[in-house]
Structure 1
Amino acid sequence: MEPKRVAIIGTGPIGVGVADALLEGSLPGLALLGVLTESPTDELLDYRFASAAQLADADVIVEAASHGAVHALIEPLLAAGKTVVLVSTGALADTSLRERLLAAAAAGGGKIVVPSGAVGALDLVVAAAGAGLDEVIVEQRKPPSSLLPADEAVDLTAPTVVFDGTVAEVVTRFPKTTNVAASVALAGLGFERTRALVVADPALRANQVRLTLRGSFGEAELTLANVPSANPKTSAIVAHSVIATLARLGSPLVIPG
């Protein structure tokens, strides 16, 4: 059986990590077709697509770039029946875009797959939503340098709440750091009913996510401290989450992520 062809949009720490796993043969049944990027690493130069049109030759596309990439590239791929592993889930806070993408997927047989990323436990959120979920809080605590301008970050001496509102609001304020909150919103109560807290904490050396769920199902609290990647706005675990998601696509044993 021919391996499924995988294309990657973006070659930041997530995209490069996924590409490395494919090239090392760590994902049986999957092969790297190419990458769409403006700045490929040396090892990926030979895999660089000349244009976005080449994405259509892939069976599976990993979006690991930006909200802008989701707006510009994903709809026709879903309409063509492709499976898209979406990292920049904050883009789906745009109701119009979300509805268009879901309609394209339904019409063309495509599929959007959301990895758990830096939070994990999305299966728990989905289950709780079905059993009775009343309140969801996603608190993200990060070093100030990944949230604030340099002149403000250097002056911060104590943990400071820089945002408290809905996920629908936070993804426009911090689009590069709140895909975690967006993924939780998609799994649970939606963008308008999920509370988001963003805290700049000068004592932190690792990105931290605190997830709180309450409802008739019971209560759950989960805290994760994730080491930042080369991009301090992104946790290193995210690339491994995407790799695990790809592995599940072709595995005879599927354990939800």
Structure 2
Amino acid sequence: MVAGQGPFVVRFGWGGEDLAALAPVSDLVVIVDVLRFTTAVSVAVGCGASVLPYRWRDATAARFAARRGAILAGPRDDPGTPWSLSPTDLAHIPAGTRLVLPSPNGATLSAAASDHGATLVAGCPRNATAVGGLVAREVAAGRSIAVIAAGERWPDASGTSHAGPLRPAVEDLLGAGAVIARAAEAGALARSELSPEARAARAAFDAAAPVLRDELRGCASGRELLALGWDDDVAAAAQLDADTAVPILRDGAFVALDEAA
């Protein structure tokens, strides 16, 4: 299938549509949802917590968390909820915490990706070097990689749910490009190993890297967070290579790669 970007070993796509095309023909899938799911996962896993992705606004989430001996994340502005999607707040999560973290894009894609049987990793600018290094090692071992930018969703026809068509989100393009760029550098990957789609994502990141925080603050998702007073989360997402752990999904939870071995 042409959409599978088959001649290349490092591929790039958007959302559930490209995930469905690329995951079945890839050994490793990197999900990128910079504002804020995979950034939150990177921070929490770096602190020694484990993160269980879950579908957004699913009434069964609390029951799922109770069965797994985990805490269910809630809205950041809810004083009764200890943890949320905020990477700023998760910087203080205690090691050993098990956190169920729903999100409309990254968590939902993570659940879908796990159904395809590929190894799943959460990537973002904060862990780009760590995840890129893993990607380079996988390529050297003869395996293929799909880097999936989550993007956002437009409202559906009713206007009540963000379940409509995909809206590409620049922050996820840049996050995916960061992982691809670091992988190419770590593995001295040839141009012919990266699909044109992956090379385009890398080029976007290379251009934005010197002003990454400004780009994240200025994009649509960044402005939405700024309007809520959460510039600290945007700043956290822009901290390139701040985290050294690779969050990998094992038994339904993102944990540090070393712990999963």
TM-score surpassing 0.5?
Answer: no
Larger Rg: 1
Higher helix share: 2
With a CA cutoff of 8 Å and minimum separation of 6, indicate the structure with the bigger relative contact order. 2
TM-score (norm 1): 0.30
TM-score (norm 2): 0.30
Higher strand share: 1
